[in-house]
Structure 1
C-alpha cells in the first residue's frame, strides 16, 4: 500500500482526503467490530458519516467547529452500542481525530507535503528499526502483557532510526533545526510504539489475532496504521502549538 499512500500524499487534495477517509472508515469498522460485533457496520457508518462532514468542513476552513460532527457521531455511537462504551468512545474519537490532524497538516500547513512524508518515514523507520534491533539483540520484553515480541532493544533501535531519518530529512530540505527534529522524531517513535501496543492490547482483550482480514496476508488497516494513528495527533500538537519546522 506504500505507493498508494505516497501517491495520495503527493497529489494532495482531494486524493489525500479520500485516502484518509477510506482508511479511517475501515479502521472504525474494525475497532467497532471488536467491541460490538453485532452492531459494528451500522455504528461504523454513523461514525464515518460524522468524520465525512468534519473532513468537508476542514477542507473549507480550519476551524475548531470541525470537531462538532465527530463528537455528535461519537455520542450517538456510544449510546447505541449498549456495551463496551468506554472503548467504543475511544475508537469513535481516536481515529477521526487522527484523520483530521493529518488532513490539517497536509492541507493547511505551508510545508504539508514534507511534514506528512516526514511522519510516514519516521513511523516506517521506527517499525524497521524496532524489528531489526529486537531480532538482533533481544533482551528484556517491553510490554509482554500486550505484545510478547517487543523488546526494549527494539524500542531504542526504533528511536535511533527515527532520529536518523529526521536528521536526514532536515538536512536534505535545507533546514537548520537538526537536533530539534531528531529529538522530535525519536519522541514520535515512542508514540508510534505506544499506538502499536494499544492496538495489541485491544486485540488481546477481545481474543483476536488481527483487527480484520481486509488486507489479505497482512490483517486489517488498524494492524498496518496503528503507529500512524497515534503519531498524527501528537505531531499536530508539536507543529501547531510549538511551531516545529523542518526548514
Structure 2
C-alpha cells in the first residue's frame, strides 16, 4: 500500500470517528478532547524535552494528568482554567530551577487549552454541535484549499524559514474558502448571527493558519519532521490538529464574549 493510499484511508477513518463523536457530544466528546490534549502533550514533550531529562522530569506529567482528569470529569470552565494556570506556573518555576527553560510549561498550557476549548465548545447541546461543525468546516476547508491553491498558483512563500511549502496564494485562497464555508454553515444553521459568524470564520481561518505555522516553527526549532508517527500516513496528532486547536480556542473566546464561559456556543448558535 502506498503512502498516499494509507493517508487517505486513515484520514477517512479519523474523519468518521471524529464526526461520530461530535454528533454524540457529552462525555464521549469530552473524553475525545482529553485524548487530544494528552496526545498533544506527549508529542510536545517528545519534541522539546532535552534527552538528559527524559527519564527523570515527571512533574509536567503529574500536572498534566491532573488537568486531564479534571477535564474528563467535567469541572467548570473557571475551575479548569485556574488549574491550568497553576500547573503552568508550577512547571515554569521548576523548569527555571532545573535549567530546562520554558518549553515544559508552554507544553502544559498549549495541550490543556487545546482540550479545554474543544470540550467546552461542544458541551452536550445543539448549539455546541453547530459550533464544532462550524469550526471543522472553516478549518478543514482552509487547510484543504490552501494546499491546492498554493500548489496550483505558487508564488511568493508565506514563511520560507518556517514552512517552505506554504505560499501567500495558498494562504489567501484558504482564507477565502474558509470564510465561504463559515458563511454557508451560518445560513444552514439559521441562527441569524450571519455577520458575527462571518467575521468569526474570517478570524478562525487566519488563526488556524497561524497555528499551523506555529507548530512548524516548534518542529523546525527542535529538528523534527513530524510530531510523532501515531497516525499512519499523517505523522502525529499535532500535525493534524495544530490549526484546529488554536482556532477552537479563538472560537471559544468569541463565544464567551457573546455569551458565557460555561456555554460559549450559545452566544453563537443559541438563537
Flag whether TM exceeds 0.5 (same fold): yes
Residues 1-247 of structure 1 mapped to structure 2, 5 A cutoff: 1-38=14-51, 39=53, 42=58, 45-56=61-72, 59-60=74-75, 62-81=76-95, 82-107=98-123, 111-243=127-259, 244-246=267-269, 247=271
CA deviations over 1:125-170 (Å, ceiling 9, x no partner): 0101101110111111111111001111111111111111111111
Of the two structures, which has the highest relative contact order with CA contacts closer than 8 Å and spacing of 6 or more? 2
Tell me how far 1:40 sits from its aligned partner: 5.1
CA deviations over 1:175-209 (Å, ceiling 9, x no partner): 32333322321211110000000000000011110
Q: Distance in 2 between matches of 1:44 and 1:18?
A: 20
Q: Distance in 1 between matches of 2:101 and 2:117?
A: 24
SS of aligned partner of 1:245: helix
Contact 1:32–1:44 (CA under 8 A) maintained in structure 2: no
- State the TM-score, normalizing by the size of structure 1: 0.90
Q: CA RMSD in A?
A: 2.1
SS of aligned partner of 2:230: coil
Contact 2:60–2:104 (CA under 8 A) maintained in structure 1: no
Name which of structure 1's ranges 231-240 and 99-108 shifts more when overlaid on structure 2: 99-108
Q: Distance in 1 between matches of 2:200 and 2:146?
A: 17
Contact 1:122–1:162 (CA under 8 A) maintained in structure 2: yes
CA deviations over 1:224-244 (Å, ceiling 9, x no partner): 000012111111111110355
Tell me how far 1:63 sits from its aligned partner: 4.4
Name which of structure 1's ranges 163-172 and 67-76 shifts more when overlaid on structure 2: 67-76
How many pairs align? 245
- State the TM-score, normalizing by the size of structure 2: 0.83
Change (3 A) 1:199 1:84: farther
